[in-house]
Amino acid sequence: MIIDIHTHTYPDKIAGKVVASLSAAAENTPPMTLGTEDSLIESMKKAGVTYSIIQPVATRPDQSESINRKVASVHERHPELISFGAMHPDNENYREIILKLKADGIRGIKLHPVYQNVPFDDIRFMRIIDCCEENGMAALVHAGKDIGFPNGDDIIPPERIANVIRTLHPDKLILAHMAAWECWDRIDEILEAGSFYADTAFSVKPDTDPQNYPRLMEKPAFEALVRKIGVDRVLFGSDSPWQGQKELVETIKNCNFSAEELEKIFRKNAEKMVL
């Protein structure tokens, strides 16, 4: 079994427009699917992925509840897809939203401080993550720089991530993009603050790289970072449609990880979060 903890889809009617806009903002990074649920499922079949976890982002506080009304139906339509909930730091009723998600069987939320334009160690994020922890729910957070926001580098740098971990001591915080996109040389600042989980999304350059994207880690650097964070703390994530699931699965399988370690990365570490 392979669980992809970090994917994105958009409604069929707007997926093309949304994906094109995001691609243009992200240095014309080419998408690897159409951004629809059906195209993600087709990608999963090619990659041997059993479950994909969709990570919706609320860019305005009024979007959270409308997004969350739809997330449970994703799994009903497609059993191989599971969605986290959406949350914005300006949702004053964050506790009510989290409790409703929990009652609906949703296992976590997605936060994106850059898109939401709030520093990660702001009290508004702190209280949301703390509430998730109280209710046994995961929080997956974009971490580090964002390719689409060159002026947002001060929103989720390692020192802000470390502040959150040092303050809250979270058990189910997942830092996307190997904990600090393009700040990987500063990972010790985060590790010194306490424990966390990291996903592999859009971090390592695939052996076969159809995107030919230069800002991803080469495989030896990726392997070293996995070891530093700890194999027990790394979850497979592709950031689909922004990285090909098949290419990424094959690349990680070709790293110097044992069968037991691959099982943790591809399945075991994620199971406690989503199943």
- Please report the pLDDT score of residue 275 as a whole number: 76
Q: Are 249 and 48 in contact (CB under 8 A)?
A: yes
Report how far residue 6's alpha carbon sits from residue 53's, in angstroms, rounded to the nearest whole number: 6
- Please report the pLDDT score of residue 210 as a whole number: 74
Q: Are 156 and 191 in contact (CB under 8 A)?
A: no
Q: Are 180 and 188 in contact (CB under 8 A)?
A: no
Token pair belonging to 72: 């449970």
Bridge partner list, 214: none
Helical axes 94-103 vs 123-134, angle rounded to 10°? 30
The stretches in the chain having pLDDT less than 50 are none
Q: Are 92 and 56 in contact (CB under 8 A)?
A: no
**If we measure between CA atoms, which residue out of 155, 77, 94, 80 comes closest to residue 129?**
94
Q: Are 8 and 142 in contact (CB under 8 A)?
A: no
Report how far residue 255's alpha carbon sits from residue 196's, in angstroms, rounded to the nearest whole number: 22
Report how far residue 26's alpha carbon sits from residue 227's, in angstroms, rounded to the nearest whole number: 29
Q: Look at the domain 3-274 and name its fold.
A: TIM Barrel (3.20.20)
Kindly report the CA angle at 129 between 10 and 21, in degrees rounded to 5?
A: 25
**If we measure between CA atoms, which residue out of 67, 37, 72, 27 comes closest to residue 241?**
37
Bridge partner list, 235: 199
| Domain segments of the chain as ranges | 3-274
> Half-sphere exposure of residue 214, counting CA atoms within 13 Å on the CB side?
1
Report how far residue 153's alpha carbon sits from residue 156's, in angstroms, rounded to the nearest whole number: 7
Q: Are 108 and 84 in contact (CB under 8 A)?
A: yes
